Amino acid sequence: MMAGTLTGGAVVSQALARYGVRTVFAVGGASHTHLLDALDRDGVRVISSRHESGCVGAADGYARATGRIGVALIIAEQGLPNAINGIAVAYHAASPVLVLVARLPNSWTEAEAEHDNARHSLVDSITKWARTVPTPDRLAEFVDAGCKRALSGRCGPVLLQVPQEYFGASVAGPGAAAQPAPSIARPAADPARIAQAARLLRDAQRPLLITGAGATWGRAQEPLAALVEQADLPIAGNGLGRGVVPEDWERSFSWPLMQIAAREADVVCLIGARLKQRLGFGLPPRFAPGAKFIQVDIEPTELSRNRRIDVPIVADAGIACRQLLEAMQAAGAARGLRANWVRDALRDRLRRLDDIVATAGTGAVHPLVLGRELARRLPENAIIVGDGADVQNWMYGALRVRRAPGFLEHYPMGAMGSGTPLAVGAAAAARELAVVHGEPLRPVLLVTGDGSFGFYPAELHAAAQAGLKIICVVGNDGAWGTELHGQVQAIGRTINTELSAARYDLVGRGFGCHGEYVQHAAELQPALDRAFAQNGPSVIDVALDRNAGAQIKSDPLARMIMFDDLASNLQTQHEFAS
């Protein structure tokens, strides 16, 4: 290589560094050799993933935990089809991930090859942008274009395909990588709309704030905490929007826990939250027919999704919340005990959850008991990753998120198993942030089911190799629990929903993790104590009381994941759209 030249890989490494990327995730290495060499020389940590979907999922977890771009290195041909689930999860969760795909050299391209690498039809519907770099000297330009697209407006994954010889090619200079990264504009709200929203919230008797991922991406924590405190507003966080205001079950709740009370709200203010399935599409019976709605979202097409919004506001959530706080302060925001209505409406549910714990048996562990034991050990800065179905339901009744970003899950796509790679990415992010900022390490807790754990267990090998602190708790009822109990209700028997009594702690040990099996409730506390004390990853396989799954189906006060009203929601959609 001539003096003064760089490899294409070095240019990409420099381009990524401007976005704060200090960790990347990669499957294998041959096709990315020169890029990996440059990243390693530049001090970027490479986490070795075991599956392409796991690789993209880890980059997704890193992005959600840091608020920055996550980077996944995979290959084309057989690698890209493997990555589809991970890309789709990131797309539906609006997570900014750059997928760098190395394809075979240009000289290997045939007119009628079995893999058409010139097109991106495989990912067009699940990415914000997908392109192929045309020449090595334009690598930095295309990295910038991809990152800008991923981080602008509503975030999302992008894909950049690179002929593998470009990473080793000699490039005259850094090109666009020598310039500052493009600035991402964040729009403010129309002051007239903010004033209208402030009046509605001030005059409401039973107001409710609902935060989604947009509130966390917009860094709305500080103004929202002030709004909740000064105007005595209750708040419910959903998905990545949990913990924007620390959940105390007085003013701040998770949406799954409090949603049974939402129908009593007279004014609902959505902040970076989309009216999708989990929010009942914003329609009755989940919400009152006469409720007034305010919605803040950076994406205009999200406003009035499924129902008309009374005060639609196109803006970055953080900027809009600061504007709203100022407007309510100027208007003399109502004081009093306006947040109490949610706690009062949840009194029966909270009492029922306490009763379930108090009457739990001493054999297999009730998942709510498991959740309460985990909650006792979690520091306020913990990152919680949720996966599975029945076990996830019970965790909503136990675990409180105290800091955002602090909760990652497979919602809204519902791709079971994606929690494991998300946890790997979150743990890598936590370590990086602790080193860079000198702050205490944020421990990562993954609670998953035995069914969902089976999708990507090998990603724990990545965690073990990297020395990441993850407490992975597998709730093991030996079944696809939600499906099993649904079949019993529907036809009185089960088909293809039973799983064997597999030992997932042994799987964890095989990959280099600390592993323990908890068969009886008395064994739970010491096993969890040992897991939390580990510096690396742990897998605690907990035998769960299978009857708890049936309990969810029959006890509305225990059911946090709701579907049974969705049909009646949709029956009213046209009425509300007219």
Does residue 2 surpass a pLDDT of 70? no
pLDDT in tens, 307-352: 999 999 999 999 999 999 999 998 875 666 688 999 999 999 999 9
Query: CB-based contacts of 15: which residues, under 8 Å, 6+ apart?
Result: 139, 140, 143, 144, 174, 176, 177
Separation between Cα atoms, residue 184 and residue 18, nearest integer Å: 13
What distances in angstroms separate CA 440 from CA 61, 379, 536, one per listed residue?
19, 11, 16
State what percent of residues in the chain have pLDDT above 70.
94
Amino acid at 450: D
| pLDDT computed for residue 3 by the predictor | 46
Across 462-484, b (16+ Cβ under 10 Å) vs e yields bbbebebbbbbbbbbbbbbbbbb
Q: Is the peptide bond before 182 cis (omega within 30 degrees of 0)?
A: no
Mean pLDDT of the chain: 93
The whole-angstrom separation of Cα 338 and Cα 336 is 6
Find out whether 72 and 99 touch, Cβ atoms under 8 Å.
Answer: yes
CA distance 135 to 561: 49
Q: Which residues pair with 102 in a beta bridge?
A: 75, 162
> pLDDT digit string (tens) for 13-51?
999 999 999 999 999 888 999 999 999 999 999 999 999
Residues contacting 302, CB < 8 A, separation 6+: 154, 274, 275, 295
Residues 236, 196, 231, 189, CA torsion sign: positive
As a whole number, mean pLDDT of residues 66-94 equals: 96
Interval 345-373: pLDDT, tens: 999 999 999 999 999 988 899 999 999 99
Which two tokens mark 97? 């991930």
The domain covering 347-554 belongs, at the CATH homologous superfamily level, to Thiamin diphosphate (ThDP)-binding fold, Pyr/PP domains (3.40.50.970)
- Return d(Cα 541, Cα 474) in angstroms, integer: 5
DSSP string, 290-347: T-EEEEEESSGGGTTSSS--SEEEES-HHHHHHHHHHHHHHTT---SSTTHHHHHHTH
Q: Check if the beta carbon of residue 171 is closer than 8 Å to that of residue 5.
A: yes
CB atoms within 10 A of CB 509: 15
**Whether the predicted pLDDT of 451 surpasses 80:** yes
Average pLDDT over residues 521-535: 96
Tell me if 548 sits within 8 A of 537, measured CB to CB: no
What are the distances in angstroms from CA 144 to CA 13, 17, 99, 163, 306? 12, 11, 13, 18, 35
Note the CATH architecture for domain 6-178: 3-Layer(aba) Sandwich (3.40)
Sketch the domain layout of the chain as residue ranges.
6-178, 191-344, 347-554
Specify the DSSP class assigned to residue 227: H
pLDDT digit string (tens) for 48-75?
A: 999 999 999 999 999 999 999 999 999 9
Alpha helices in 438-542 (DSSP H): 450-453, 459-466, 481-491, 504-510, 524-533
Write down the residue that tokens 């290195």 correspond to: 73
Residue 335: the pLDDT is 60
Give the integer Cα–Cα distance in Å for 369 and 60.
Answer: 30
CA dihedral angle for residue 126, residue 128, residue 29, residue 457, rounded to 10 degrees: -40
Identical fold for domains 6-178 and 347-554, yes or no, is yes
Instruction: Tell whether domain 191-344 is in CATH 3.40.50.1220.
Output: yes
Phi, psi of 41 (to 5 degrees): -65, -30
Give yes or no for residue 105 having a pLDDT over 90.
no
Q: Report the distance separating Cα 263 and Cα 277, nearest Å.
A: 16
Q: pLDDT at position 30, please?
A: 85
